[in-house]
Amino acid sequence: MIELLSAANAGVLTLLILALAALAYVLARHRALRAVDGDVRRLHSLPSYYGYAAAMLTAVPALLVLAVWLIVQPWLVQMQVAQTIPAADGARAVETLPALLSDAGIALGGTLEPAIVEAAQQHARLRALGHAGRSLVVLVLAIAGLVAALRMTDPTFRARNTVESGVRALLILAASLAILTTVGIVLSMLFESINFFRAHPWQDFFFGDSWSPNFRGDSDLSILPLLWGTLYISFIALAVAVPIGLYAAIYLSEYANNRVRSIAKPLLEILAGIPTIVYGLFALLTVGPFLVSVFGRGEDGLLGVDWMNGATSVLTAGLVMGIMLIPFVSSLSDDIINAVPQSLRDGSYGLGATHSETIRQVVLPAALPGIVGAILLAASRAIGETMIVVLGAGAIARISANPFEAMTTITTRIVSQLTGDTDFASPETLVAFALGLTLFVLTLALNVLALYIVRRYREQYE
């Protein structure tokens, strides 16, 4: 019996609970109808509400307990096991336990300390116990809910009100998931970042000048070269996207007739819908080799210069990212330029200004805060972009002003530190979380700033 209970995984349990809930619906609806001999008018609510109320009482508490259990159990088990391990290597050893666990059944190599093996076995025991307890509690709860709901079902039971407050609670829960996600993002990165800063000095991370991870330990892990690469590439991307996007937005909103607008605008926006992996491949295989043929290869090249050695470079990634950002800048700016009141333009024309003078001296200054906001949003996009730089920017961390050199970015390093065989106890892996947290804070700050500027601007004309 216990084995059966501990074998039931979360998916099976959920299905069981849902089946019980369906049963509760049928039984309660039937019971309510029978209590009034089929005369619906004597019921407080429509018959189906009695069914829904019973189904909710059966399923919701059980599913909630299941969810909480899923989240809390691993943590409790780890805490328990951590106490049995000698304090010296306690925290680190527990981190690696899950990996050891799979080996616990078979013969272990001599490298493991007995305390850790014992801890691993205890871990497995506690987990099995936890699973059995979980199945038992959840199923008992569901059946208890079913019985209670059936007993409550009589003609005076305010079933609709019960169902509606239950649904309301579920709606609030769904809406709170956004908060939960943010909290999850921050906590998951914060804890691992703290672990990282325990193993690696924070001065080196923030103020060091080189990045050379070395999996034997003793690595230089400084964010500055990565930050430089990120900002340099983003700068080139914005230098491409802002003029093109802005002029395109101005032309579309001020000059173009409806036909041109209805064709050109969706076409430009296709650029924003193309997955970034496509841009990454485009950078690596098309733009990179093209740039090499122009700026590289010495005498054989188009310019006869030898500035560029490989296809991956700051310029490659920046140019392609710029193309990706064009529609981002253009459609945001387009909306903002359209929001400038027509009366401002009419006033300017009345004074004898030409169309372009009106745009440059009246419309753009009025739209400037919004456009700055749009550019900041685009910058935050550029900083967080991953696939283009992973494929197009290269992997060498350096601080240099030469756009033809390969450089690396924060996102690239996160990918390379967290893919492949990773050991979550080493600073070389944990640094990815500190990088992720920095990236999150950076893009969040840019977004908040951009939204603040846009919102303040909007108030002017309302």
Partner 1 sequence: MTDVPNPAAPIADPRGASSLLTQDARTTRRNRAEGRFRLYGILAIGVGLLMLLVLLVTIISRGTGAFQQTYLTLPVELLEAKLDKKGNRDIEDIKKVSTFGYSPLMNAALEAKVAQAGIETELEPKAMAALLSKDAAATLRDFVLENPELIGTTVEFEFLVNSRVDGYLKGRVTRESIANDKSINAAQLDLVDALVAEGSLAKRFNPEFITGSDASDQRPEAAGMGVAMIGSLFMMLVVLALALPIGVAASIYLEEFAPKNLFTDIIEVNISNLAAVPSIVFGILGLAVFINYMHLPSSAPLVGGLVLTLMTLPTIIISTRASLKSVPPSIRDAALGVGASKMQSVFHHVLPLAAPGILTGTIIGLAQALGETAPLLLIGMVGFIASNPPDGIASGLMDPNSAMPAQIYEWAKRADPAFYERAWGGIIILLVFLVTMNAIAVLLRRRFERRW
> Which residues, including other chains, have CB under 8 Å from residue 42's CB and lie 6 or more apart?
36, 155
The CB-side HSE value for 363 (13 A sphere, CA atoms) comes to 28
Residue 1 contacts partner 1 per CB under 8 A: no
Give dist(CA 16, CA 24) in Å, integer: 12
- Output phi, psi for 429, to 5 deg: -85, -45
Comparison of 146 and 375: residue with beta carbon closer to partner 1? 375
Contact 326, 248 (CB under 8 A): yes
Give dist(CA 42, CA 399) in Å, integer: 80
| Contact pattern from residue 282 through residue 311 relative to partner 1, giving x for each residue in contact according to CB under 8 A and a dash for the rest | x-xxx-------------------------
Residue 365 contacts partner 1 per CB under 8 A: no
Figure out which of the listed residues 341, 360, 402, 460 binds partner 1, where binding follows CB under 8 A. 360
Comparison of 385 and 405: residue with beta carbon closer to partner 1? 385
The CB-side HSE value for 41 (13 A sphere, CA atoms) comes to 0
Comparison of 208 and 384: residue with beta carbon closer to partner 1? 384
Residue 79 contacts partner 1 per CB under 8 A: no
Residue 197 contacts partner 1 per CB under 8 A: no
**For residue 227, is it left (φ>0), alpha (ψ between -120 and 50) or beta?**
alpha
For 305, counting Cβ atoms within 10 Å of its Cβ (0-12 exposed, 13-18 middle, 19+ buried), the class is middle
Figure out which of the listed residues 87, 88, 107, 270 binds partner 1, where binding follows CB under 8 A. 270
Token pair in block for residue 42? 């004597």
Figure out which of the listed residues 7, 26, 79, 267 binds partner 1, where binding follows CB under 8 A. 267
CB of 281 to partner 1, least distance (A): 5
Figure out which of the listed residues 61, 447, 449, 458 binds partner 1, where binding follows CB under 8 A. 447
CB of 110 to partner 1, least distance (A): 27
| Contact pattern from residue 98 through residue 117 relative to partner 1, giving x for each residue in contact according to CB under 8 A and a dash for the rest | x-------------------
Figure out which of the listed residues 179, 259, 342, 343 binds partner 1, where binding follows CB under 8 A. 179
Comparison of 351 and 451: residue with beta carbon closer to partner 1? 451
Figure out which of the listed residues 20, 53, 159, 326 binds partner 1, where binding follows CB under 8 A. 326
CB of 451 to partner 1, least distance (A): 7
Binding positions for partner 1, 407-446, rule CB under 8 A: 411, 414-415, 418-420, 424, 432-433, 436, 439-440, 443-444
Please give the size of the binding site for partner 1, defined by CB under 8 A: 93
- For residue 256, the SS3 value is coil
Give dist(CA 123, CA 117) in Å, integer: 10
The single-letter DSSP state of residue 401 is S
Give dist(CA 12, CA 313) in Å, integer: 51
- Output phi, psi for 386, to 5 deg: -115, -55
Residue 377 contacts partner 1 per CB under 8 A: yes
Residue 258 contacts partner 1 per CB under 8 A: no
Figure out which of the listed residues 383, 406, 407, 453 binds partner 1, where binding follows CB under 8 A. 383
Binding positions for partner 1, 220-239, rule CB under 8 A: none
Comparison of 91 and 285: residue with beta carbon closer to partner 1? 285
Figure out which of the listed residues 17, 116, 146, 252 binds partner 1, where binding follows CB under 8 A. 252
- Single out the residue of 247, 246, 453, 459 nearest to residue 369, CA to CA: 453
Give, in order, the Cα–Cα distances in Å from 230 to each of 219, 235, 402, 428.
21, 8, 14, 20
Figure out which of the listed residues 280, 296, 318, 403 binds partner 1, where binding follows CB under 8 A. 280
Residue 70 contacts partner 1 per CB under 8 A: yes
Residue 250 contacts partner 1 per CB under 8 A: yes
Give dist(CA 95, CA 23) in Å, integer: 43
Contact 386, 411 (CB under 8 A): yes
Residue 356 contacts partner 1 per CB under 8 A: yes
- Single out the residue of 130, 129, 106 nearest to residue 117, CA to CA: 106
Give dist(CA 268, CA 328) in Å, integer: 9
Given the rule CB under 8 A, which of 137-145, 206-214, 220-228, 281-289 is the region that contacts partner 1? 281-289
